[in-house]
Amino acid sequence: MWWPPWLAAWLAWACGAGAGRRAPLCASRGLCRAPLGPNASHPEPGHCQRQRGAADLCAWPLSSESLLGTPCSALVLLLDPFPIDVIQENYARNVRNCIFSIVYPTPFKSRVRLVAVSKEVLENILDLDISVKGTSDFLQFISGGKVILGSVPLAHRHGERWELQLKGSGKTPYSRNGDGRAVLRSSVREFLCSEAMHYLGIPTSRAARYFSFLFHSILIYSLVVSDDDVWRDQFYNGNIKKERGAIVLRLAKSWFRIGSLEILAHSGELDLQRRLLDFIIQEHFPSIAMNDSNGYLEFFSTVVSETANLIALWMSVGFAHGVCNTDNFSLLSITIDYGPFGFMDSYDPNFVPNTSDDERRYKIGNQANVGLFNLSKLLQALKPLLDPRQKQLASQILEGYGERYYICFTELFKTKLGLLGENEDDNYLIAFLLKLMEDTRADFTMTFRQLSEITEDQLKELHIPEEFWALQDLGKHKLFSEWVTMYLLRLNRNKGDSDTKRRTRMTTVNPRYILRNWMAESAVQKANSNDFSEVHLLQQILQHPFQRQQAAEKAGYSLRPPAWAKDLKVSCSS
């Protein structure tokens, strides 16, 4: 069938065709590594026997099991394969021939205060009882004032942190001219967005809501503030202001990124690059046999596929990362490094949350292209390790990225619209709707949510109740009735379906609450005055984004964003 030019253009964007501009590499900050593991029967020497839900860090053995089930020290598992930076002094410098530098956190000088903690992460992943958060040892550990016996604090060369990460704990050799600190403003945003993404089903330690993922995602589980002064030029305009310091403790299964391999290839450290790649595959890609001559090719194929999945998931909730360079793209295809991110309010393919991105390089409609660009940089880094045949096959794999992304994107949006089965016009229906949303500036999240709640009879009569304000905006488009007719005809083709089933199904995938910029900003402003009530409220609300909640409705989290929200700005400054 013939598609109008505007639909063809939109589909080109949705498919992620073409390559983006070069994404510059960023510097790294400090990490506090405390290796974890479930091996209660083989505690490290000098450590207490671990017990489920321990309320004392002494009961937290720093050990793990290898993939073959053999008990081994996690420190040996990580440090033995790689050379460590021979320079122990902590100053900014160029570092070569190593992966990690040993760097101890720099504690705050003033009083520290625990603001928030993720009970689920603390108890279900770290196996500590929630009561541990009230102990002095725990507060000192998560604020960088104390290093647990048996752990080694490491700074990851060109890649920020490994496993347990203290963000904002001071300088490392990779800090360049930075102070290695984080401020309350960005730390609150990062903590809350990690919670939001986790419960939205964006790749986590459990199966994602739409696709099954093998890997774990970033999870931030504590936020600590202090009265130390940190100076920041938030918008890089010469207006330097004093802000409060903060530290977030966050964890991921791995902090290695595309940039981790890219820097080694660029500097010609191919032996170290091969050792690092073998380690990553052995630890995080168990389906790839270490003696497989095509192991690197399979690794690349998996990263390409899962990166496409991840970005499609971002798009399905209107999430723009903000800084999609190679050093912010995980090799495990997880969302890391929340900085100038943003969830769209009004639907706009040109939405850019980062005011520092003057060229709109990382606008939401270009994220798929940037993913392709970053994967091409990964391929360049891997080429010295591939034979001619494998290089050719890897190029073919990369060429399939666009199709993979488009398939994921389409399936996600079909699910958001409650469509079952296959129909050749589904892509057109999705594109048509998004074009209407773009023209009317309809709210992205609430348009899909309200389509989940409105009845087919109400749509058929074009009777849009006042509570469905996003659909009322959409209804102002002269082609809205045409789209509704197409949509209802398509819903009638859902075999064995009913309007009740359709609405129930759609409300489980279309969130009612997301972390809008204005909500985060409101929480930040109160936190600056030592009022953390909205941080706690948002943390609670975002744990159940698909369920209508009285507290959220009272706070106006499902209403139109306030007028002042349009003037909010975020940047890379942390």
Catalytic residues: 327
The rounded distance, in Å, linking the Cα atoms of 62 and 164 is 12
Q: Are 229 and 245 in contact (CB under 8 A)?
A: yes
Q: Record the tokens describing residue 319, joined without a space.
A: 């999430």
Cα dihedral sign, 88-91-95-100? positive
Q: Are 152 and 35 in contact (CB under 8 A)?
A: no
Cα dihedral sign, 92-97-99-104? negative
Burial class (CB in 10 A: 0-12, 13-18, 19+), 347: buried
Residue 513's nearest CA partner among 219, 116, 199 is: 199
User: Which residue type is seen at 489?
Assistant: L
Task: Tell me the three-class secondary structure of 44-68, residue by residue.
Answer: CCCCCCCCCCECCHHHCCCCEECCC
Q: Are 538 and 523 in contact (CB under 8 A)?
A: yes
Cα dihedral sign, 567-444-336-228? positive
What are the start-end ranges of the H helices in 339-425?
A: 367-382, 388-399, 401-416
> Residue 515's beta-bridge partner residues?
none
Q: Which residue has the tokens 């520290």?
A: 112
Which whole-number Å values give the CA distances from 420 to 70, 363, 533, in the listed order? 46, 31, 42
Q: Record the tokens describing residue 469, joined without a space.
A: 């304000």
Element (H, E) at 481: helix 480-491
Residue 314's nearest CA partner among 444, 187, 421, 466 is: 444
Left, alpha or beta for 178 (phi > 0: left; psi -120 to 50: alpha)?
beta
Q: Are 336 and 328 in contact (CB under 8 A)?
A: yes
What does the CA dihedral 153, 157, 161, 162 come to, rounded to 10 degrees? Answer: -70
Q: Output b/e per residue, 440-469; b: 16+ Cβ within 10 A.
A: bebbbbbbbbbbbbbebeebeeeebeeebb
User: Which residue type is seen at 28?
Assistant: S
